[in-house]
Amino acid sequence: MRVVVADDQRVVREGLATILENLPGIDVVGLASDGAEAVALVARHDPDVVLMDLRMPVMDGAEATAAIRRSHPRTHVVVLTTYADDDSIVGALSAGASGYLTKDASREDIHRAIDAAAAGQAVLDPAAQATLLQAARSGSSPRLPAGPLPDGLTKREAEVLSLIAQGRSNSEISEQLYVSEATVKTHVNRIFAKTGSRDRAQAVAFAHRNGLTG
């Protein structure tokens, strides 16, 4: 698996490169000191995954993520940053990041997130997941974006996904939508299958990337 590391602190990016090179199946093909350099390295090396810091000069990580996802959709981005506020997390996911980790993540966490991203799955660390759910709880009834829904989701599935992103349980969704809990479970299983989500955290990340948070 080919990986680019982007971080404006030299000691951090070189340290991450050392960690990654010692993991099986990973080849670090480039180190970037800012977002613009990360975009250029992706164009040059066509990596599978970029491990991306957020606060960088010239071009920040969210802007670089959006540029990479537009021009090189095969390349996935995992954010690794100090910040776990809702603006940073939602901004990164909305830009197209497949994963979000804070810098206290372990080597195993980073490896798992990179593997998941390369497979088209999302990973949020517990701090990021808790922040997203807390921010989403301020929502109420689902409000869906105009236009076609992503990944073949039906309107009802998108409504259920929006409520999942607001932290609602299956029983709460059942009450709000006036359907049985068994029906909600069926919708949730279909949502997971269509979005490639293994759990609710990955579904929440998908919802934020696609504007389905209500």
pLDDT digits (tens, 9 = 90+) for 15-25: 999 999 999 99
Is the predicted pLDDT of residue 128 greater than 90, yes or no?
no
Banded model confidence at residue 140, pLDDT cuts 50, 70, 90: very low
What distance in Å separates the CA atoms of residue 180 and residue 195, rounded to the nearest whole number? 23
What is residue 144's predicted lDDT score, i.e. its pLDDT? 57
Is the predicted pLDDT of residue 135 greater than 90, yes or no?
no
Mean pLDDT of 94-116: 90
Banded model confidence at residue 211, pLDDT cuts 50, 70, 90: confident
Strands, sheet with 99-102, edge to edge from the N-terminal-most edge strand: 27-32, 2-6, 49-52, 76-81, 99-102, 123-124
Is the predicted pLDDT of residue 143 greater than 70, yes or no?
no
Whether 137-209 and 2-131 are alike in CATH topology: the answer is no
Percent of the chain's residues with pLDDT above 90 = 49
What is residue 175's predicted lDDT score, i.e. its pLDDT? 85
- Fold that domain 2-131 belongs to in CATH: Rossmann fold (3.40.50)
DSSP 158-169: HHHHHHHHTT--
Domain ranges of the chain: 2-131, 137-209
pTM for the model = 0.68
Mean pLDDT over each residue of the chain, to the nearest integer = 87
Angle formed by the axes of helices 126-136 and 200-209, to 10°? 60
What distance in Å separates the CA atoms of residue 24 and residue 112, rounded to the nearest whole number? 12
Non-local CB neighbours of 175 within 8 Å, separated by 6+ positions: none
DSSP state of 25: T
Tokens representing 114 are 């990179």
Among the CATH numbers 3.40.630.30, 1.10.10.10, 3.40.1160.10, 2.30.42.10, which is that of 137-209? 1.10.10.10
Banded model confidence at residue 141, pLDDT cuts 50, 70, 90: very low
